[in-house]
Structure 1
Amino acid sequence: MTLSPEQLGQSKQELAATLKELRKRAGLSGARLAARCNMSQSKISRIENGKSPASLVDVEQILRTLEAPPEVLARVTELARLANTDWQSLRALRRKGLHHKQQELAGLESSSTEFRFFLLSMITGLLSTPEYIKASLAHLDGDQSKLIARKLSRQEVLYDTSKKFTFLLSEMAVRWPLIPAPAMAMQLDRLVSVSRLPNVRFGVIPLRGLMPVAPMDTFTVYDASLVTIETTSGVLALRDSKDVAMHLEAFAAMERFALFGGEMRSLLEQWSDDFRGSAQ
């Protein structure tokens, strides 16, 4: 099945209708199916009416109970995977206004308690200085002051000690010269400062030695329920538990190559001094 924005938009209702039709063909009421799946009848009803998203685990359990043949199991499982995936194109986000995306992210940060950021090529807005944020938006037309202000205001969540953050940054993300050298030095100083917060675990992956794991994407895991993946053309959101688990595993694999604590801060301070030296 080809992944496309159109399918992502249609898949939730299609999945709900398909599961309802399969139940009826099996001659089961919603109550009987719920009992056999060890689910509540209200949950089955919400799934079949498209009011509550069915996870891949839920779908597999329902299909096993309905004794669906292998070809149906494969087709509906793929549909469930699509139904748990959202795509936001950058073009659409720009038309709507990127400051609305900041509201969405603030909502995610408000409702989540544990965050894992893997940053492959750039520093995320939560860690950025105003100058870095401004430079990251320089390719956009028009006045971006509202967007910059929203990004900076979101940084307040870092000081909420009820939340736990782990940041993993590649050396490329840290050292990519997006702004002039003196400003990059200040940006790295900002990273050192944030790394000292009690609820922040901060790791940097230096490009040295043997690293047989090659990450492909910048991604964020919210609790253990949602992954967002940033691409050149947009943002992909995955809610399927297997997709989330795969990214948690990838995150843990990259943690093994990261430096933390004093060793990490010494490296950041060295790179900061390098930027200051290159500006002289």
Structure 2
Amino acid sequence: MTFEPERLGQSRSDLAEAMRTLRKRAGKTQTWLARRCTMSQTKISNIESGKLTPALVDVELILDALGSEGAEAEELLSLARTANTEWQDHWSSRRRGLDKKQNELARLEASSTEFRYFLLSAITGLLATPEYVRASLADVPGDQSKTVAKKLERQSILHDSSKSFTFILTEQAVRWPFLPPLAMAMQLDWLASVSRIPNVRLGVIPLSGHIPEMPLSTFTLYDRRLATVETGTGALILRDHRDVTAYREDFDRYESYAVFGDACRELLSEWAMIHTRQREY
């Protein structure tokens, strides 16, 4: 299936219409279908009206109940997969205001309990010093002080003991000289401090030894329900359980190459010292 970002929203309405048409052609009521699929009639109604995007497992249950198979079923499953994918481009986010994006992230974090971050090339806002946050927004026109404040405010969630966080950073993400040497050393010291928060596991993957993996993207996992994948121009929001499971499996493999605890902090201290020495020269 060709990926076309502009089709994602339309796919949701196409899916709703197709599901409604399929049921009516089978001569079944929403009540009958709801009972057969162990769903509420309201859920079936919301799926058919486009108010609710069904998970693939919901679509599979409905297709089975209505006896749909072959090419028709494959087409509906393809629509469902696309409908569960969202594209957020950077330009639209900037037009709306990046502070609004921070509000969206805060709501997502509030509704989730388990977080997994794989950081390939940069340090995420939850782990960033104020200097790093400001530098990450330096190319955005206008006053970004509100966005900086909200990014830093979101960091308080790391101290919520009802939530768990695992951060895996590559050595490249940690050591990329995004700030002047002294500021980078302070950023690495801050990572070491965050790694001591009880509900936070922070690990780094050193660029040494043999790593038979080739990660392509930074991604974040929210519980078992959603994955966000960063690209150079935006982010994919994936809700299909197969996509989320695939990224969870990737994360587990990358985690096996990471070092945590004291070993991690020793590396961070060593790398921070290198930045400090660079300043002296």
Tell me by how many angstroms 1:159 deviates. Answer: 1.1
Q: Give the match for residue 94 of structure 2.
A: 94
Q: Give the match for residue 37 of structure 1.
A: 37
State the alpha-carbon separation in 1 of the partners of residues 26 and 73 from structure 2: 14
Q: Where in structure 2 are there 5+ consecutive unaligned residues?
A: none
Q: Give the match for residue 162 of structure 1.
A: 162
Normalising by structure 2, what TM-score? 0.97
The number of equivalent residue pairs is 280
Runs (4 or more) in structure 1 with deviation over 3 Å come to none
| Residue identity opposite 1:196 in structure 2 | R
State the alpha-carbon separation in 1 of the partners of residues 92 and 83 from structure 2: 20
What secondary structure sits across from 1:279 in the alignment? Answer: helix
Q: Give the match for residue 53 of structure 1.
A: 53
State the alpha-carbon separation in 2 of the partners of residues 96 and 70 from structure 1: 43
Q: Identity of paired residues, percent? A: 55
What secondary structure sits across from 1:53 in the alignment? Answer: coil
Summarize deviations over 1:44-74 as a string: whole Å, max 9, x none. 2221122222001111121122222311111
What secondary structure sits across from 2:168 in the alignment? Answer: strand
State the alpha-carbon separation in 2 of the partners of residues 242 and 143 from structure 1: 40
Tell me by how many angstroms 1:33 deviates. Answer: 1.8
State the alpha-carbon separation in 1 of the partners of residues 217 and 64 from structure 2: 34
| Residue identity opposite 1:18 in structure 2 | A
Indicate the larger mover: 241-250 or 42-51: 42-51
State the alpha-carbon separation in 2 of the partners of residues 194 and 157 from structure 1: 12
| Residue identity opposite 1:180 in structure 2 | P
State the alpha-carbon separation in 1 of the partners of residues 164 and 271 from structure 2: 26
State the alpha-carbon separation in 2 of the partners of residues 149 and 180 from structure 1: 22
State the alpha-carbon separation in 1 of the partners of residues 113 and 39 from structure 2: 27
The 5 A counterparts of 1:171-186 are 171-186=171-186
Tell me by how many angstroms 1:38 deviates. Answer: 2.7
Q: Give the match for residue 196 of structure 1.
A: 196
State the alpha-carbon separation in 1 of the partners of residues 175 and 130 from structure 2: 17
| Residue identity opposite 1:153 in structure 2 | E
Q: Give the match for residue 137 of structure 2.
A: 137
Q: Does 2:251 correspond to 1:251?
A: yes
Tell me by how many angstroms 1:40 deviates. Answer: 2.6
Summarize deviations over 1:118-139 as a string: whole Å, max 9, x none. 1000000010011111111111
Normalising by structure 1, what TM-score? 0.97
| Residue identity opposite 1:239 in structure 2 | R
Q: Give the match for residue 27 of structure 2.
A: 27
| Residue identity opposite 2:43 in structure 1 | K
What secondary structure sits across from 1:63 in the alignment? Answer: helix
Summarize deviations over 1:209-241 as a string: whole Å, max 9, x none. 111121111111111111111111111111111
Q: Where in structure 1 are there 5+ consecutive unaligned residues?
A: none
Indicate the larger mover: 13-22 or 191-200: 13-22
